[in-house]
Amino acid sequence: EDKVVQSPLSLVVHEGDTVTLNCSYEVTNFRSLLWYKQEKKAPTFLFMLTSSGIEKKSGRLSSILDKKELSSILNITATQTGDSAIYLCAVDQGGSEKLVFGKGTKLTVNP
């Protein structure tokens, strides 16, 4: 069965800390891995990764894919309270358009 596992399930840090969120996957066919941020409502898109070893960056957030290890990490530097959210990892299996989601990591950034 295809699955995506995220760790840790929850994380509490102080403003200014750097955090690393993990995502590992086991899927039949891999096309891409996506990261989403979910605050109170809908998940919003952060990154899509298709090539191993190439870092995607957006401000203080960055992500990299390791196809050999079937995993990805999402780094957030100099965290702010506005980074508090659930971060979701999803895998596009190719073939069909459906995404397989992990259960997410709940990040809480305290002032």
Partner 1 sequence: DAGVIQSPRHEVTEMGQEVTLRCKPISGHNSLFWYRQTMMRGLELLIYFNNNVPIDDSGMPEDRFSAKMPNASFSTLKIQPSEPRDSAVYFCASSWDRGSYTFGSGTRLTVV
Q: Is residue 13 near partner 1 by the rule CB under 8 A?
A: no
Which of 11-19, 54-62, 76-84, 93-101 is the region at the interface with partner 1 (rule: CB under 8 A)? Answer: 93-101
List the structure tokens of 94.
């190719």
Q: Is 64 in the site for partner 1 (CB under 8 A)?
A: no
Q: Nearer Cβ to partner 1, position 70 or 99? A: 99
Among 23, 25, 37, 43, contact with partner 1 (rule: CB under 8 A): 43
Asked if 101 and 89 touch (Cβ cutoff 8 Å), the reply is: yes
Q: Is 45 in the site for partner 1 (CB under 8 A)?
A: yes
DSSP string, 25-70: EE-SS--EEEEEEESSSSEEEEEEE-STTPPEEETTEEEEEETTTT
Binding mask 19-38 for partner 1 (x = CB under 8 A): ------------xx-x----
**Beta-ladder partners of 4:** 25
13 burial via Cβ count (<10 Å: 0-12, 13-18, 19+) = middle
Q: Which residues of this chain interact with partner 1, rule CB under 8 A?
A: 31-32, 34, 41-45, 48, 88, 90, 92, 96-104
